[in-house]
Amino acid sequence: MKITMIGSGYVGLVSGVCFAEFGHDVVCMDLNADKIEGLKKGGIPIFEPGLEEMTLDNVKAGRLTFTTDIKAAVAGAEVVFIGVGTPPHPETGHADLKYVYAAARDIARSVEGFTVVVTKSTVPVGTGDEVERIIRETNPDADVAVVSNPEFLREGAAIKDFMIPNRIVVGIEDERARSVMTEVYRPLFINQSPLMFTTRRTSELIKYAANAFLAMKITYINEMADLCEAVGANVQEVARGIGLDNRIGTKFLHAGPGYGGSCFPKDTLALVKTAQDFGAPIRLIETTVEINDARKSKMTKKVIKALGGSVAGKTVALLGLTFKPETDDMRDSPAITIIEELVEAGAAIRAFDPEGMENAKAVLPPITYCEGAYDAATGADAVVIVTEWNEFRGLDLKRIKAALKSPVLVDLRNIYRREEVARHGFTYSSIGRPSED
Ligand code: NAD
């Protein structure tokens, strides 16, 4: 099949490359000329495990090309996916749909023959209706079926998630789209991935309902961690004890510094706004958003407490900047708030992240970027682990201690055991485990 992807970011590029891997002919289009020029030369603009190899293979096989020319990309395509960003609107908190609507107008001007236009971006209920209206208004002759097909991949495991999804949700209003979308995903449901067809509005809502539920689950265990600290219980054992009940499940029960990233913060907020607009407020998610916002500052206070009540004039080594490991994405990472507040409180920061430092430079106040964990610890008053990259899980604690001015370790991801760290002479604080003081 001939497939075009409008927007070649985390979702557009991964989806486009994976569709090419299925054997489809794919064009990835983006307005960002630098990105496209780079891709044409084999440069992958994001860090995502396995993506570079799969991209180069499919380019070589002649199934994958890149362009900034929307007209050429859309003309002749059987399916056009919209995978552009939907960031929160700076004033309202609603999903800002200007990129989606601009793409819809561009597509309308270029379609030839019957074309299925698929919104893969995360968009509020009713966006598909508006995309369809815009296309018909821009080009009354366009013969299109507008479909919703939200993406559930996780950064850091994006290729695996795309290739072996738990489900593929497709929302249609025009029956002609059913066979086309079935053909697009045929290689996957042969692999037992359920293809679920529903209406367009239901499909749009499924994406938000899923992300809000996961954000709520994280927030639940984070609050439970606070209670564990107050009563002297262990949140990891609470999580295991409840998670073994398969009605609850063990996933997303890791207490930490609060959720971040390009999806949960913006999607929870957008769902809250949509629900309020339709007069059906979802108070659980309103509260989830509030608790998570406050949590990051709580983490700053934990660090300040571990350093004796003040960080003025002190140096903090901070390990991990991205919102989770195996990505270079800094969007809404808890590290941003923690660093801003520590700097505000007078601390100097020595930071290291395996992949995120370039993106971090664009969003953080001036701090010192280091070559590795031991370099970051050199001369610092404390080490704070913010993101659980694998390389921070087995640090040589003797070496870290020798590099530090004082042996203080704050582990916001619970990747160490108190006894082990104490044996090396560290003062240790973590999340929701006994002896948090
Ligand atoms: P991104 O910012 O990485 O990529 C968006 C790309 O779209 C950019 O390269 C931008 O230049 C391009 N673009 C914008 N307007 C365009 C236009 N009119 N024509 C062509 N290109 C255009 O964003 P992302 O993280 O890939 O997210 C895209 C959508 O997918 C969002 O709605 C997001 O919520 C959703 N989503 C993201 C993830 C994730 O993990 N990142 C997962 C599931 C869903």
- Ordered by start, the domain boundaries in the chain are 2-198, 200-437
Token duo for residue 395:
């640090």
The reply to whether 2-198 and 200-437 are identical in fold is yes
Q: 101: buried, middle or exposed (CB in 10 Å: 19+, 13-18, 0-12)?
A: middle
Alpha carbon of 279 to ligand 1 centroid (Å): 29
Instruction: Give the whole-angstrom CA distance, residue 356 versus residue 354.
Output: 6
pLDDT tens digit sequence for 95-126:
999 999 999 999 999 999 999 999 999 999 99
> What is the percentage of the chain residues whose pLDDT exceeds 70?
99
Q: Judge whether 64 is annotated as a binding position.
A: no
**Does the C-beta of 121 come closer than 6 Å to ligand 1?**
yes
Residue positions annotated with a catalytic role:
263
**What's the pLDDT score for residue 436?**
53
The angle that helices 176-189 and 10-22 make with each other, rounded to 10 degrees, is: 80
340-356: per-residue pLDDT in tens?
999 999 999 999 999 99
Write down the architecture of domain 2-198 according to CATH. Answer: 3-Layer(aba) Sandwich (3.40)
**Could you tell me which residues are beta bridge partners of residue 382?**
316
> How do residues 393-421 score in pLDDT, each as one tens digit?
999 999 999 999 999 999 999 999 999 99
Predicted local confidence at residue 188, as pLDDT:
85
- The finding on whether 31 has its CB within 6 A of some atom of ligand 1 is yes
pTM of the complete model: 0.95
Whole-number Å distance between alpha carbons of 310 and 314:
8
Half-sphere exposure of 7 (CA within 13 A, CB side): 25
Measure the CA–CA gap between 81 and 18, rounded to whole angstroms.
Answer: 13
Residue nearest to atom 17 of ligand 1 (CA): 103
Ligand 1 close to Cβ of residue 80 (< 6 A): no
- Mean pLDDT over 295-324 rounds to 98
Query: 7 CB under 6 A from ligand 1?
Result: yes
Residues 170-194 have pLDDT tens digits of 999 999 999 999 999 998 877 677 9
Instruction: Give the CATH superfamily of 200-437.
Output: NAD(P)-binding Rossmann-like Domain (3.40.50.720)
Tell me the percentage of the chain whose pLDDT exceeds 90: 96
Residue 146, H or E segment: strand 144-148
Q: Which residues contact residue 123 at a Cβ distance below 8 angstroms, ignoring those fewer than 6 apart?
A: 86, 95, 97, 100, 148, 204
Instruction: Count other Cβ atoms within 10 Å, centred on residue 331.
Output: 20
Q: How far apart are CA 267 and CA 386, in angstroms?
A: 23
* Cα–Cα nearest to 410, from 427, 429, 393: 429
Report d(CA 339, CA 319) in Å as an integer.
11
Confidence check: pLDDT of 33 > 90: yes
Task: Note whether 405 and 315 are within 8 A (CB).
Answer: yes
Ligand 1 atom 18 nearest Cα: 103
Pocket test for ligand 1, best of 6, 10, 269 (most atoms within 8 A of CB): 10
* Cα(83) to centroid(ligand 1), Å: 5
Contact 46, 328 (CB under 8 A): yes
Cβ of residue 85 lying under 6 Å from some atom of ligand 1: yes
Mutate to test the pocket of ligand 1, among 4, 8, 11 (most ligand atoms within 8 A of CB): 11
- Tell whether the model's pLDDT for residue 204 goes beyond 80: yes
Over residues 128-157, mean pLDDT: 97
